[in-house]
Structure 1
Amino acid sequence: GCGKRGPYNPVRGDRVVARVRELLDHHFPLENGTHAWAVGYAAAQGQLEVTFGDGSRAALLDPAQFAGHDGEPDKPDGILLVKNGLHLEIRFGASNPIGRRDLAAVSDVRLESALSTIMDLEDSVASVDTDDKLAGYRNWLGLMKGTLEQTFEKNGETVSRVLHGDRRFTAPDGNELTLHGRSLMLVRNVGMHLVTDAVLAGGKPIPETFLDAMITALAGKHDLLGNGPMRNSRAGSIYIVKPKMHGSAEVELAVELFGRVEQALGLDRGTLKMGIMDEERRTTVNLRNCIAAARERVFFINTGFLDRTGDEIHTDMEAGPVLPKAEMKSAAWLSAYEDSNVDTGLAAGLRGHAQIGKGMWAMPDEMANMLSAKIGHPKAGASTAWVPSPTAATLHAIHYLMVDVDARQAQLAAREPASVDDVLTLPLMDAGRTLSPDALTRELENNAQGILGYVARWVGQGVGCSKVPDINNVALMEDCATLRISSQHIANYLHHGLLDEAQVRKAMERMAVIVDRQNAGDPDYHPMSSDFESSIPFQAALDLALKGREQPNGYTEFILYARRQQMKAAD
C-alpha cells in the first residue's frame, strides 16, 4: 500500500513521517522522550520547547542545535535546527494534507542541501554553434539577474520554476537570521581544447573557453552590481569551474585569462574564482602545483573519476589491453587518485577555505543504493559531491549530518599521503591473460549500447545529459565523460587485437536495434536501425569507437560537434 498513487497516499506518507522522526531523534535528540511523541513545538526563551501528549515538555539535548523560528514563538510556522553547519527546517500547517494527520501539525521537513550547483556549459550540454551558445549564455544571464523563469508540463499540470528568495527567521537571541534561499551558483566553462566560430580573430575561430570566460564573467557582473532582486555571491565573487586542464601550465594560462577578463570588465583582481577539476593524469600528479598556480582564486578541487578513467585508458593506449570496465573500478590507481586529491587539498590548506569534492552518483533512480553507498564520500574527506537530481541532493545531505567533515578532514590530514606510484600504476590486464569470447562480447555490447544510447540523443536531438537505459534497462546518467570511457575502451581492445572492426560494426548494429526499441515512445527520436549508413547518430557512434585512438586525449567532442552540426543542417 506504499506505492505512489493520487495526490497523496496516507499509507506511504505515514511511513515517510515515521522515518523522518527517526532522523530527527538521531541527529537532533531531545533531552528526554522522542520526536514521535510531540504534539507541539515552540520557541521559548531562546530554546526549542517540545510538548508531549501527556503535557510534559522537553528541550534539545544540545540546545545549540536550535537556530531559530518563523511566525509566532508559541505557535511557529517553522522551527530551524542546525548540525554540522547544515540547517533543517520543520514546517507546520494544519490545513496541509500531511499536517492534518499529525498531532504536532508537522507538514514538512526541509533539509538544507545542494549548497552549490554547477550551471554547465560543458559535458552536460550539446552546444555546437552560436545559437546553442547564446541559449546557454542567456540562461546564465537570467540566473545572475534573478529573472530566469521556466514553465513546463509535469504530470498533466503546468509548472513554473523561478529562483527562490532568501529565508528569514528569528534567531534565539531575537535578532533576524537570513539564510540564502538558493544554491551558490557556479558555472563550468568548456575545456581548452575546443574552438568556436561565434567570434573570429584574424578570420579564424577562437578558443571557446576564452569566449566562455568573458561572457560568463560579464553576466556575473550583474550579480556583483546588485542589478537583480537577489544575490548569488555573498563575497563579491564569480565562480568558474575549469575542466580538463593538464597540469599547472594550463592552470597558469587560465589564471592569466581570468586576469585579462577582470581588467577588460573593470573587476577587481581575484573576483573570478576558479574550481579545478582533477580529471587528467597530469593534473592529478601535479595537483599541488596546480593549486599553487591558482592560490588566489581556487575555491574548489574535485575528482572527476569518469573523465579521469577515460583519460587513463587513452594515456595507456600503447601499453597494452586495459582491464574490463567492471574491474577498473577496483584498480589500484583509482583509489590512490581519489585519496591523493584529498591529501593534496588538505596539505595545501583548503580545509575550511575551499571545497574538496568527489564525483557523480550515476544512477538517478537508485536512491536507496545511493543512500547506502555515497556516505563514503564525506568519510573520504569530501566537503561536497556530485548528485544527479534535487532528490539525490537532499538524500545526500543526510550523509553530512552523519559525518562531521571538518573533523574527518582533521583526521585524514595526519595519515600517510597516497602513493604517487600507486596513482601511476597502469590498469592493464596481466600478461598472458585472455578474455573468453562471451566475456569479450559482453564487454563490447555494453560499451556499444552505452555509446549509441547517449549519442542518439546528443547528435540526434541535441540533448547533452539525460537518463539513458543501459543494456539491462537500468537508467544511467550519461554525459561526455561516460562516453569517453566506453569509446576509449573499445578503441583499446581494437588496437591490441582483442576485437576487430567487423565485430565492432556488428555489435553496434545489434545494439542500435535495442536502443531504438528503448526510445520507441519518444516522438523526437531518430531511429538508427532502419538505415545504418544514412543515420548520422549511428555513424557518429561508429566514429567514436573506430577512431577513438586518434582522438586527442580520447575526447569525444570533436566527433560529436561535427556530427551534431551535420544533423542540424540536415534537419
Structure 2
Amino acid sequence: MPALQGLHVHPKLYKTVEEKVCPDTGFSAGYFWSCLSSVVSELRPEVERCLARRDELQQKIDAWYSEKKESGADLSKPDYRQACREFLRDIGYLVPDKGPVSVTTQFVDEEIAKVPAPQLVVPSDNARYVLNAVNSRWGSLYDALYGFDVIPAYSVTSSGVEINAAKGAAGYNPMRGEAVIEFANGLLDEIAPLVHGKWGDVCRLWPKFVGSIQRLELLLKDGTTTALRTPSLYVGSQGNLGPPDADVARPKSSSPSVPDQGRIILKHNGLHMILEIDRTHPIGKAALSGIKDITTESALTAILDMEDSVSAVDAVDKCKIYCNICGIFRGSLEAPFVKDGKAMTRKMNNDVWFRDAKGNVCTIPGRALALVRNVGHHMFTDAVLTADGKFVPEGFLDCLITTACALHDLRGTGRLMNSREGSVYIVKPKQHGPEEIALTSRLFGRAEEFFGLRRNTIKMGIMDEERRTSANLRECLRAAMERVFFINTGFLDRTGDEIHTCMMAGAVVRKGDMKKQNWIQSYEAGNVDVGLHSNLQGRAQIGKGMWAKPDSMKDMLEGKIAELMAGASTAWVPSPAAATLHSIHYHHVDVPERQMQLAMRPAAKIETLLEPPLLPAKLSKEEIAHELKENAQSILGYVVRWIDLGVGCSKVPDLSNVGLMEDRATLRISSQLLANWLHHDLISEDQVRDVFLEMAKLVDQQNAREPGYIPMSVNPENSPAFQAAMKLVLEGKKAPNGYTEYTLHEARRAVKDQLQGLSKL
C-alpha cells in the first residue's frame, strides 16, 4: 500500500482517485488524501464513542427486560408502557424534547421539494442497473402495462366482451394491446377529462393557438371537436401535428391524409405525461387516436446505493462503485450490452425539449435526480489504513469520494447536469439518535470546507430505520435542520432493530404479523407526523418503503397507493417498470392536500412506539416449524448469492417459488427473529441445524441453473455461505444491533481469497 498523508491506501483505490475522481475537479489526489487524513484524525474518536454508546445502551436495555421478565412481568401489556418510557429517559436513550423544530433546508431540487413521485433504489456496483435507474425518470406506460399482470390474461372490454389478452410467447398480441390502450384511455379520462366525449373516441389531437396561447384541440370520431376540461394541463408539444385537413374534419373519416408524428405534453400533479403520436407506427396506426404510447414521468429521484443492496467488501469492490458514481456525475457512464444479437451501449438520457404553450423552448430533465446512499457509521474498511494499522471509517471515505465526484456536476464540467440547485444529496443509513446525526452533519461540513463549497451544499437523507432514531426523530431533525432533505420509514431494517432491541423482553411475533403490531403503526404514523410538523413540506421528502414483489404489479397498483394516503411524498420501487406503474398513484392522489389533512390529526404516541412486538399466545408446533422453514430458506437463499456470487440484492424465490426482492435488511429481520426464538426456547439449536440442512437442498434446487453456483447441501460444513447463514442465527443475539454486515463480509472475503488463490494455480 502506498503511504499518503499518514495513510496507507490500497493501490486500486489510489489509482481510482488519481485517474477517475480528481481530474477536472481542481484538486489533486494528494490533497484528497490529506483531507481524509484530517477528518479521520478529527472525527474517528467520535465515531468510536457513538458505537460504544450503542453497546452501552443495549446492555442496559437487555438487563432491564431480563429483570422484568424474571419477576414475572408480562411486557406485552400496555401497563408497562410508561415504565419503559421512564427507564429509557433515565438512561439517555430518550433525549429531552426541546419543542417544535422548523427545517430550513435551502437549494433543494424540485424533484425532492415540490413534486411527489416514485423513488428507485439501485445497487451502484452494476453500471447497467445504475443507468437503468437514472434513465427511469421516463417510462413507457404501454410497455409496463403489457409486460406485467396489471392486464389479466383474459380481459373484459368496456362493451362486456371477454378477450384473450395473454402475453404469450409468440410476439405481439393485438388483443392485449387493445386492453392496454383501453386502460390508458381510462387513466386519461380520470386525470385529463375532456369537455365532452372520452379519450377512447379521440381520432386526432393537435395544439391550436387561442390568442397568444396554445390549447389542445381534439377531434372525436363523431366529427365534433372538444378540449381539455382543464386547459392548463396541456403544457407543450413537439413535431408535426395538425391542424386536420378538410377530409379529416368530416365524420366519415378518422384518418388524416398526412400522418401525424409528434408529442403532446401534459402535466398533472407536477408530473408530465407525453402522448407519443405516430400513425406510421404499428400501434399508432391501429389506434384511433394515433397514440402509439404514453411516456410518463416516473422515478424523479434514484438512490445509488453503496450499502444494503451491494456486496462490497474490499477496495476492488468499492472502486467499481466509485467509478459508477463518478460516471453519473460526469454524465459519461456507459454500459455495453447485447440485444437481439446486436452489441449496443447504454448511456444516460438527454433532457427532453419541446415548445411550450407560448411557443418558447422548454426542457424537462431526462434523468432521475441522483442521490447517493453511503454506508453507516458502524462500517470500517481496510482499503485505507491509518499509520498504526487501524481501518478507516468507511463512511468517511464514501462521503469524500461522493462529494469529490459531485464537483463535476456542481462546477458544470460534466456532460449532463444532476442537481439544478447545486446540491449534493447523501442518504445516511443506520444512524442511532441525534448525536449520530450531528456527527454526520459535522462530517458533511468538513467535506464542504475541504472542497470550497457553500455551507450546507451536502444535504442529508435520514433513514428512520433504527429504534433510537424513531423515538427521537424530532431531535434528529433539529440536529440536521439546515441539511435534511429526506426522511423515510424503512420497515425492514427498522423491524430488525426492533427485534434486537427487545431481544430479552420475550419471544416476538412471526415475521408476517409484524406489520399488525402497535409499534409499527405508531412508527409509520409518527414519522409522517414529525415530518409535517417540522416544516418538511416544500423542502424535503417523506418516504415509505420498498415493494418487495417485483413481478406482482397488479397487487402493487392496488396496495401501494396506501402509502400516499398515509402521507408519503415518495415511496421505493424495485424497477423502472414498477416506477412507471407506481407513478399512476401520484395522479390519483393530491399528496400535498392529503398531507395537510393528516397534519390535523393527533400525533402518534411514543408509548405505543416503544411497545415490544411480543407473542400474545403460544404457537403450535406446526406454526413454529413453518416459520423456521420460511426464515431459514429466506436466509440461505439470500446469503448464498451474497457470499458465493457477490450479489447484494436480487430476486430470491421463497418457499412457494414467489420471487421476493431481498437485501441485507430482510436478512436482518429473519436472522434476528430466529435468534430471538432460539434464545426464548421456541426452537432449539438442533432444530435450526436440521431445518437449515433441509432448506439448503431446496435453495440449491432453486439456483441449479445459476452460472457459477456452488451447492451448499453437498458439503455444508465446508460451505462458507451455509456456515455464515448458521452463524447469523446462532450468534445473532450478540451481533451489534443485529447487523449482518460483519458476518457477510468475513465470509465473502474468505471466498474471494480462495478464488484468487485458485486463479494463481
TM-score of the pair, normalised by structure 2: 0.74
Which structure's relative contact order is higher, taking Cα pairs within 8 Å and 6+ residues apart?
Answer: 2
Q: Is the partner of 1:91 in helix, strand or coil?
A: strand
Once the two structures are TM-superposed, the CA of residue 54 in structure 1 deviates from its matched residue by 2.8
Distance 2:711 2:357 in 1: 61
Distance 2:454 2:241 in 1: 44
Q: Is the partner of 2:546 in helix, strand or coil?
A: coil
**Which of 629, 642, 654 does residue 470 from structure 1 map onto?**
654
- Aligned partner of 2:202 in structure 1 is 38
- Aligned partner of 1:2 in structure 2 is 165
Once the two structures are TM-superposed, the CA of residue 470 in structure 1 deviates from its matched residue by 0.5
Once the two structures are TM-superposed, the CA of residue 494 in structure 1 deviates from its matched residue by 0.5
- Aligned partner of 2:368 in structure 1 is 183
Matched, 1:426 2:612: yes
**Is the 2:261–2:278 contact (alpha carbons within 8 Å) kept by the matching residues of 1?**
no
Distance 2:335 2:171 in 1: 23
What's the Cα RMSD here?
1.1
Equivalent residue runs for 1:122-137 within 5 Å: 122-137=307-322
- Aligned partner of 1:453 in structure 2 is 637
Matched, 1:512 2:696: yes
Distance 2:644 2:439 in 1: 35
Q: Is the partner of 2:378 in helix, strand or coil?
A: coil
**Is the 1:544–1:559 contact (alpha carbons within 8 Å) kept by the matching residues of 2?**
yes
Once the two structures are TM-superposed, the CA of residue 201 in structure 1 deviates from its matched residue by 1.6
- Aligned partner of 2:515 in structure 1 is 329
Distance 2:680 2:522 in 1: 27
- Aligned partner of 2:351 in structure 1 is 166
- Aligned partner of 1:276 in structure 2 is 462
**Is the 1:93–1:100 contact (alpha carbons within 8 Å) kept by the matching residues of 2?**
yes
**Which of 396, 401, 414 does residue 587 from structure 2 map onto?**
401
Q: Is the partner of 2:426 in helix, strand or coil?
A: strand
- Distance change in 2, residues 1:154/1:418 (3 Å): farther
Matched, 1:58 2:226: yes
Distance 2:342 2:743 in 1: 39
Matched, 1:379 2:543: no
**Is the 1:333–1:424 contact (alpha carbons within 8 Å) kept by the matching residues of 2?**
yes
Once the two structures are TM-superposed, the CA of residue 548 in structure 1 deviates from its matched residue by 0.6
Q: Which amino acid aligns with 2:166?
A: G
- Aligned partner of 1:70 in structure 2 is 238
Equivalent residue runs for 1:116-155 within 5 Å: 116-153=301-338
Distance 2:293 2:642 in 1: 38
Distance 1:318 1:154 in 2: 54
Provide Cα deviations, 1:380-414, integer angstroms capped at 9, x if missing partner.
11000001111111111100000000000111111
Once the two structures are TM-superposed, the CA of residue 425 in structure 1 deviates from its matched residue by 1.1
Matched, 1:529 2:676: no
**Is the 1:41–1:76 contact (alpha carbons within 8 Å) kept by the matching residues of 2?**
no
**Is the 2:274–2:295 contact (alpha carbons within 8 Å) kept by the matching residues of 1?**
yes
Provide Cα deviations, 1:481-532, integer angstroms capped at 9, x if missing partner.
0000000000000001111111000010000000000001112211101100
- Aligned partner of 1:29 in structure 2 is 193
Provide Cα deviations, 1:320-357, integer angstroms capped at 9, x if missing partner.
00011111110011011000000000000001211000
Q: Is the partner of 1:300 in helix, strand or coil?
A: strand
- Aligned partner of 1:212 in structure 2 is 398
Equivalent residue runs for 1:38-117 within 5 Å: 38-45=202-209, 46-72=214-240, 74=242, 75=260, 77-117=262-302
Distance 2:688 2:307 in 1: 28
- Aligned partner of 1:444 in structure 2 is 628
Q: Is the partner of 1:251 in helix, strand or coil?
A: helix
Q: Is the partner of 2:516 in helix, strand or coil?
A: coil
**Is the 2:205–2:241 contact (alpha carbons within 8 Å) kept by the matching residues of 1?**
no
**Is the 1:69–1:76 contact (alpha carbons within 8 Å) kept by the matching residues of 2?**
no
Q: Is the partner of 1:460 in helix, strand or coil?
A: helix
Distance 2:550 2:177 in 1: 22
Provide Cα deviations, 1:61-106, integer angstroms capped at 9, x if missing partner.
0111111111245356101111111111100112222112112211
Q: Is the partner of 1:359 in helix, strand or coil?
A: strand
**Which of 468, 472, 475 does residue 289 from structure 1 map onto?**
475
**Is the 1:311–1:554 contact (alpha carbons within 8 Å) kept by the matching residues of 2?**
yes
Q: Which amino acid aligns with 1:61?
A: R
**Is the 1:37–1:52 contact (alpha carbons within 8 Å) kept by the matching residues of 2?**
yes
- Aligned partner of 1:540 in structure 2 is 724
**Is the 2:261–2:279 contact (alpha carbons within 8 Å) kept by the matching residues of 1?**
no
Once the two structures are TM-superposed, the CA of residue 551 in structure 1 deviates from its matched residue by 0.5
- Aligned partner of 1:16 in structure 2 is 180
Of residues 382-391 and 101-110 in structure 1, the stretch that sits farther from structure 2 once superposed is 101-110
Q: Is the partner of 1:174 in helix, strand or coil?
A: coil
Distance 1:155 1:539 in 2: 41
Q: Which amino acid aligns with 1:69?
A: S
Q: Which amino acid aligns with 2:556?
A: M
Once the two structures are TM-superposed, the CA of residue 6 in structure 1 deviates from its matched residue by 4.1
Q: Which amino acid aligns with 2:222?
A: D
The higher radius of gyration belongs to: 2
Equivalent residue runs for 1:237-256 within 5 Å: 237-256=423-442
Aligned residues: 569
Distance 1:338 1:147 in 2: 39
Distance 1:355 1:541 in 2: 36
- Aligned partner of 2:674 in structure 1 is 490
Distance 1:364 1:267 in 2: 40
Once the two structures are TM-superposed, the CA of residue 569 in structure 1 deviates from its matched residue by 0.9
Q: Is the partner of 1:125 in helix, strand or coil?
A: coil
**Is the 1:352–1:406 contact (alpha carbons within 8 Å) kept by the matching residues of 2?**
no
Q: Which amino acid aligns with 2:467?
A: R
- Distance change in 2, residues 1:312/1:107 (3 Å): same
- Distance change in 2, residues 1:539/1:368 (3 Å): same
- Aligned partner of 1:304 in structure 2 is 490
Distance 2:196 2:619 in 1: 61
Distance 1:199 1:3 in 2: 55
- Distance change in 2, residues 1:252/1:186 (3 Å): same
Distance 1:117 1:55 in 2: 45
Distance 2:738 2:344 in 1: 40
- Among all aligned residue pairs of Structure 1 and Structure 2, give the percentage whose two residues are the same amino acid: 52
Once the two structures are TM-superposed, the CA of residue 9 in structure 1 deviates from its matched residue by 2.2
**Which of 549, 560, 567 does residue 733 from structure 2 map onto?**
549
Q: Is the partner of 2:728 in helix, strand or coil?
A: helix
- Aligned partner of 2:750 in structure 1 is 566
Distance 1:274 1:63 in 2: 39
Once the two structures are TM-superposed, the CA of residue 155 in structure 1 deviates from its matched residue by 6.5
Q: Which amino acid aligns with 1:71?
A: G
Q: Which amino acid aligns with 1:268?
A: R
Distance 1:390 1:82 in 2: 20
- Distance change in 2, residues 1:153/1:526 (3 Å): farther
Once the two structures are TM-superposed, the CA of residue 435 in structure 1 deviates from its matched residue by 1.4
Distance 2:343 2:174 in 1: 25
Distance 1:352 1:225 in 2: 26
**Is the 2:463–2:487 contact (alpha carbons within 8 Å) kept by the matching residues of 1?**
yes
Q: Is the partner of 2:744 in helix, strand or coil?
A: helix
Distance 2:475 2:538 in 1: 20
